[in-house]
């Protein structure tokens, strides 16, 4: 029970990593949480109405993709994949959930990335997709206000997630580095000199979404979690 009534949430990209932890954090806050993940054949670019609950208070767009490559080697397919999941996915899922979110005067939280603020080598598609996700979040916040609250959270590199492991493997391959060199390079770019624990990010998000009062004044805001 939240604010005296049962609430429901849908989390995309919820089979592993940050999405799975957000799923658990919202469940701990009393939400009935629904998974929406490619692992279950659910594509954010092609929303499945059957997987969207009849009543919906919160949509968390957490599904993400990252393919690292030097600009001269990047393919159109790589670009389309990353842009499709990270930007188009937010657009399509929010659009699909709109009637139910309007009915509940609900919330959309988009998981963006520090890549929306800081350019990185070999990451043209990812940087562009996260920049698009950021401005889309701000645009949706204005268009859907005041009934629907839209804001975003931008984590830095998370430790131990499936995406983080994929990034490390791609960096090693692309740069020709050892695992130790890749790790040291990425650590040195983080002010805390350590990767962020995704459990802390999920707990923070769970707190913000536990009541509307705790996040309604964040409409249109992006919260960096590390830089």
**What residues does each domain of the chain span?**
7-156+197-225
On average, the pLDDT of the chain sits at 92
What's the confidence (pLDDT) of residue 184?
80
The tens digit of pLDDT for each residue in 182-221 reads: 778 777 777 777 888 999 999 999 999 999 999 999 999 9
Of the two residues 60 and 121, the one the predictor is more confident about is: 60
Q: How far is CA 158 from the centre of its chain?
A: 12
Q: Rounded distance, CA 60 to CA 33, Å?
A: 10
Tens digit of pLDDT for each residue in 51-65? 999 999 999 999 999
**Do residues 88 and 45 make contact, with C-beta atoms less than 8 angstroms apart?**
yes
Q: Helices in 74-197 by DSSP H: which ranges?
A: 76-83, 89-104, 124-144, 162-175, 179-188
Q: How many helices (H) and strands (E) does the chain have?
A: 7, 6
Give pTM, 2 decimals: 0.90
Q: pLDDT confidence of 167, banded at 50, 70, 90?
A: confident
Class of domain 7-156+197-225: alpha beta
> Above 90 in pLDDT, residue 176?
no
Contact 201, 20 (CB under 8 A): no
């Amino acid at each position: 029970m939240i604010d005296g009534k049962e609430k429901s949430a849908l989390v995309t990209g919820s089979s592993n990593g940050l999405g799975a932890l957000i799923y658990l954090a919202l469940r701990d806050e009393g939400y009935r949480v629904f998974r929406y993940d490619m692992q279950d054949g659910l594509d954010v670019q092609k929303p499945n109405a059957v997987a969207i609950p009849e009543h919906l208070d919160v949509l968390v767009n957490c599904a993400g993709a990252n393919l690292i490559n030097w600009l001269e080697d990047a393919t159109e397919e790589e670009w389309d994949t990353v842009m499709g999941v990270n930007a188009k996915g937010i657009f399509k899922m929010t659009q699909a959930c709109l009637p139910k979110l309007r009915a509940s005067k609900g919330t959309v939280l988009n998981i963006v990335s520090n890549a929306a603020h800081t350019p990185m080598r070999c990451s043209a598609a990812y940087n562009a997709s996260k920049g698009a996700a950021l401005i889309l979040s701000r645009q949706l916040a204005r268009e859907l206000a005041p009934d629907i609250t839209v804001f975003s959270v931008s984590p830095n590199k998370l430790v131990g997630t499936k995406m983080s492991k994929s990034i490390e493997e791609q960096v090693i391959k692309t740069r020709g580095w050892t695992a130790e060199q890749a790790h040291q390079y990425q650590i040195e770019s983080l002010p805390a000199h350590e990767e962020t624990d995704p459990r802390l990010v999920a707990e923070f998000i769970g707190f913000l979404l536990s009541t509307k009062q705790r996040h309604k004044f964040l409409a249109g805001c992006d919260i960096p979690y590390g830089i």
